[in-house]
Each structure stands twice: as C-alpha cells, then as structure tokens.
C-alpha cells in the first residue's frame, strides 16, 4: 500500500488486549447494508464471511436467514504478539506471511458475501493489500462485499466501531477504543484496492463514511 495513502498514522500496537468496548450502541441507517441485505435475503445457504469482531446479533441474523457464517476478527488477529517481527525501521511489524498462513485459511471454501466493515481503515498497512487479495481469492465470482471507509473529514480520531446488524437497513455501532484510524482512502484509492473485482458502488453517508459495495 503506497505511503501516500497514509493520511493518519495511528498507534495500534500489538501485544496488549483490546480495551472493553463501550456498552452503548448507536443505531445508524445504512444504504449499503440495505443493498447487501437484498442480496443475502434473496436465497438461503450462502457462505458469509464476517471480518469484524464477534457479534452475536450478526450471527443470529445471518444464520436465521439460512446462511453459513464464518467469523474472523481480522483486526484483533493482527495484534497477536506472536505475529510480530522486527521491521525495516526497527519497530515491530506484523509478519505478513505468517499472518496469512494462520488466518483466513478456508480449505477451499468460497464465500458468497463478505462483511469487511471498516476494518481496512484500521488494519496495519502491511496487511491491507494482501487482505484484499486473499478476500478476492476466497470469494465466488459474483459474490458481494460490503466495506466502510472513512472520509478525510472524519478526522484522525474517528473511533473504531463494532457493527451489529439491527435490521435490514439498520446497523448499531458500538465503539471499541483500542484501535486508531491508520489512514483514509479516497474513491480512487478504493478503486485501486479492489481493481481485481468486477465493480464497485459507493454510498456517501452523513457520518463521513463511504459505504462501498464491491462485486467479485
């Protein structure tokens, strides 16, 4: 990922457990999720990959639609101290090869839908591009991904949130104070990031967030 993408450099450090999330959940309407829901409600038996923190409500919602759900908290996994090695500048960095050897390995499973949420904005830079490539490799052609990306106006303190599905077009956001924004992507950056995919559709939300639907 080019350095110029890095607008804000956070201080996400590995080795310490995440702080407890806020108990407050703020409802938020989501056009992107509404579109996503139309797709996953259209048929049963889809394989859905949720890359956010474990959410009982998401698991309940998706399994009640008759889907099989895979949950991998990518951001938390990236903080595993066992994955750190000395970087070029002497600072600890994630061992990318080892990370992908231990995470997102699905033994031939292919996904029809992927919930990326806002993980890409908070993930260590070394992992972003390989993550998207791995997602591409495990998605069905025609499969759909939903991602949220902060705009520049969100500011460097934009909190990381867990996304809980509260309805067909509504999400509940729960702040997790442990993670800090690492960068922001503009539309061009997002298109470059997903250049292997078939198409992208953007929805600009009021809370300085772009909701992006990506079709494999």
Q: Is position 140 an interface residue for other proteins (rule: CB under 8 A)?
A: yes
* Helix, strand or coil, per DSSP, at residue 209: strand
CB atoms within 10 A of CB 59: 15
Contacts of 80 (CB under 8 A, 6+ apart): 14
Q: Is position 47 an interface residue for other proteins (rule: CB under 8 A)?
A: yes
Instruction: Choose which of 12, 22, 34, 77 interacts with other proteins (CB under 8 A).
Output: 77
Q: Is position 66 an interface residue for other proteins (rule: CB under 8 A)?
A: yes
Let me know: does 216 contact 143? Beta carbons within 8 Å: yes
Instruction: Choose which of 13, 41, 63, 196 interacts with other proteins (CB under 8 A).
Output: 63
CA-closest candidate to residue 72, choices 41, 44, 100: 100
The residues in 156-215 that bind other proteins, with binding defined as CB under 8 A, are: 187, 198-204, 210, 213, 215
Q: Give whichever of 95 and 112 is closer to other proteins, judged by the CB atom.
A: 112
We find the least distance from the C-beta atom of residue 68 to other proteins, in angstroms, to be 4
We find the least distance from the C-beta atom of residue 88 to other proteins, in angstroms, to be 30
Parallel/antiparallel/unpaired status of strands 47-50 and 199-204: unpaired
Q: Give whichever of 85 and 201 is closer to other proteins, judged by the CB atom.
A: 201
Question: Given the structure tokens 């960095």, which residue do they identify?
Answer: 93
Q: Is position 71 an interface residue for other proteins (rule: CB under 8 A)?
A: yes
Q: Is position 152 an interface residue for other proteins (rule: CB under 8 A)?
A: no
User: Could you give the CA distance from residue 66 to residue 3 in angstroms, rounded to a whole number?
Assistant: 42
Tokens of 198: 């078939």
Let me know: does 165 contact 58? Beta carbons within 8 Å: yes
Residues that bind other proteins (CB under 8 A): 39, 43-47, 54-56, 59-60, 63, 66-73, 76-77, 109-110, 112, 140-144, 187, 198-204, 210, 213, 215
């Amino acid at each position: 990922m080019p350095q110029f993408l890095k607008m804000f450099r956070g201080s996400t450090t590995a080795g310490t457990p995440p702080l407890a999330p806020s108990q407050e959940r703020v409802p938020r309407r989501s056009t992107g999720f509404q579109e996503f829901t139309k797709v996953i409600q259209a048929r049963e038996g889809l394989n859905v990959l949720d890359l956010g923190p474990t959410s009982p409500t998401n698991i309940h919602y998706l399994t009640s639609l008759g889907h099989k759900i895979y949950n991998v908290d990518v951001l938390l996994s990236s903080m595993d101290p066992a994955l750190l090695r000395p970087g070029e500048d002497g600072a600890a960095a994630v061992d990318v090869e080892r990370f992908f050897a231990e995470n997102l390995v699905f033994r031939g499973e292919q996904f029809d839908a992927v919930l990326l949420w806002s993980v890409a904005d908070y993930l260590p830079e070394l992992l972003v591009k390989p993550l998207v490539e791995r997602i591409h490799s495990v998605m069905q052609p025609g499969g759909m991904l939903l991602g949220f990306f902060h705009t520049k106006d969100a500011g460097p303190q934009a909190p990381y949130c867990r996304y809980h599905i509260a309805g067909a077009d509504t999400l509940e956001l729960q702040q997790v104070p442990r993670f800090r924004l690492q960068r922001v992507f503009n539309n061009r950056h997002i298109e470059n990031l997903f250049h292997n995919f078939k198409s992208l559709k953007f929805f600009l939300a009021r809370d300085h967030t772009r909701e992006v639907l990506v079709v494999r």
